[in-house]
Amino acid sequence: MVKILVVDDEADLEMLIRQKFRKRIRSEEFEFYFALNGRLALEVLDAHPDIDVILSDINMPEMDGLTLLSKVKEKNSLLKTVIISAYGDMENIRTAMNLGAFDFITKPVDFRDLEITLEKTIQHIQQIKSNLRALKENNILKMYVDETVLNFMGSRENEASLMENETIQASVCFIDLCAFTKISESEEPNLVVNLLNEYFDLMVKEIIEEKGSIDKFIGDAVMAVFQGENHFERAIRACLAIRDKMEAIPVYSEKTNFRPRVSIGINTGEMVSGNIGSSSLRRLDYTVIGDTVNVSSRLQTAAKPGQILILESPAQHLKDKFVFEQIGEMSLKNKVRPVQVLEVISSK
């Protein structure tokens, strides 16, 4: 329903408008409010802030239409005003347009012209509301979906192309918050969620600082992906920062003796990037998959609290940037042969 406020000191205008728009009023397409001057109009607006359109005369007692127009702009920038004035009053009409009036009609009122003007004004308001709603939804979407995913979706021409994937060179990290179940078992759920979000926020800031992206949150773990130049080095730097900052946080409570520590696995190499899921159900998850990703997850599972584990082979060219400690051979689940593993100790 469109709500319209008519402001005019001619009392018989209310009767005429109710008569001319009676069908649209009965069908609840339009709802009209009336005021005899600008001061009363402001009172109506205070009582009904969801009014969409104002039809206002210019010359009225107590508060004229131009003063009302200037005050309406302060109250609600989305509210549109159509000025009604005598044809010979073009100077005031021009002033009204400069003050932000959307349109004008002249007296005596041609109700067909009024109806057309109202339709045009309403369409304009609905378009603005639609744009604002889309902007709000987009901002909400950004809270749930990483910018990498939005860019990927935006680059696709149609729905079918959303199921396409690509092979990329990247580094992937799995960062798990160790022993968080201690808190989950002993504290209120709301407190647990807030605490987990606080820890996640710390991790995410370090990942973004090194230009990584969050692939997903998995329970009390984070999966992050780094692409572009020096992606493996940047992934290690982000994980070192996360480990050190988490370990600097004091013991959460004497009752649980919980100290936030992380176990981390990082791997680098070729992986497949794209949407995984059901197109018929219209539920997709943008992620990376492949052996490189699986190894990173297995390394995180094998890591102890405070450890960052990587494979030895891709770390050879980074020995001048980081301090590594040899772990040795390690058998990972679903890997036929053992792999040589290093622990990342610190930056040099």
Domain boundaries, the chain: 2-144, 147-347
* Ramachandran angles phi, psi of 59, nearest 5°: -90, 110
Give pLDDT, residue 140: 54
The CATH code that applies to domain 147-347 is 3.30.70.1230
The CATH code that applies to domain 2-144 is 3.40.50.2300
Prediction pTM value: 0.59
Report which residue type is found at 176: D
For residue 220, the 8-state DSSP code is: T
* Residue owning tokens 């127009």: 69
Return per-residue pLDDT of the chain as tens, 348 residues. 899 999 998 888 888 989 999 999 999 999 999 999 999 999 999 999 889 999 999 888 999 888 898 888 777 767 899 988 876 677 888 888 888 888 888 888 888 888 899 999 988 888 887 877 766 666 655 555 556 555 555 555 444 445 567 899 999 999 999 878 777 777 777 878 888 888 999 999 999 999 999 888 888 899 999 999 999 999 999 999 999 999 898 776 556 567 788 999 999 999 998 777 666 656 667 788 899 999 999 999 999 999 999 999 999 999 999 999 999 999 888 778 899 999 999 998
Distances (CA, A) of 170 to 9, 166, 167, 211, 329: 71, 12, 10, 12, 24
**Residue 288 β-bridge partners:** 273
Quick one: three-class SS letters along 287-339? EEECHHHHHHHHHHHHCCCCCEEEECHHHHHHCCCEEEEEEEEECCCCCCCCE
Report which residue type is found at 187: E
Question: What residues have CB less than 8 Å from 42, skipping those under 6 apart?
Answer: 63, 68, 71, 75
Backbone Cα Rg of the chain: 32
Give pLDDT, residue 185: 72
89-147 per-position pLDDT tens digit? 778 888 888 888 888 888 888 888 888 999 999 888 888 878 777 666 666 555 555 56
The rounded distance, in Å, linking the Cα atoms of 55 and 96 is: 12
DSSP states of 26-95? HTTSEEEEEESSHHHHHHHHHH-TT--EEEEESS-SSS-HHHHHHHHHHH-TT-EEEEEEETT-HHHHHH
Give pLDDT, residue 249: 85
Distances (CA, A) of 101 to 30, 51, 85, 96, 121: 21, 15, 12, 6, 11
Distances (CA, A) of 286 to 86, 144, 156, 276: 61, 12, 13, 6
> For residue 327, how many C-alpha atoms fall within 13 Å in the half-sphere facing its CB?
22
Q: Which helix (H) or strand (E) holds 148?
A: helix 147-154
Cis peptide before 305 (omega within 30 of 0): no
CB atoms within 10 A of CB 189: 8
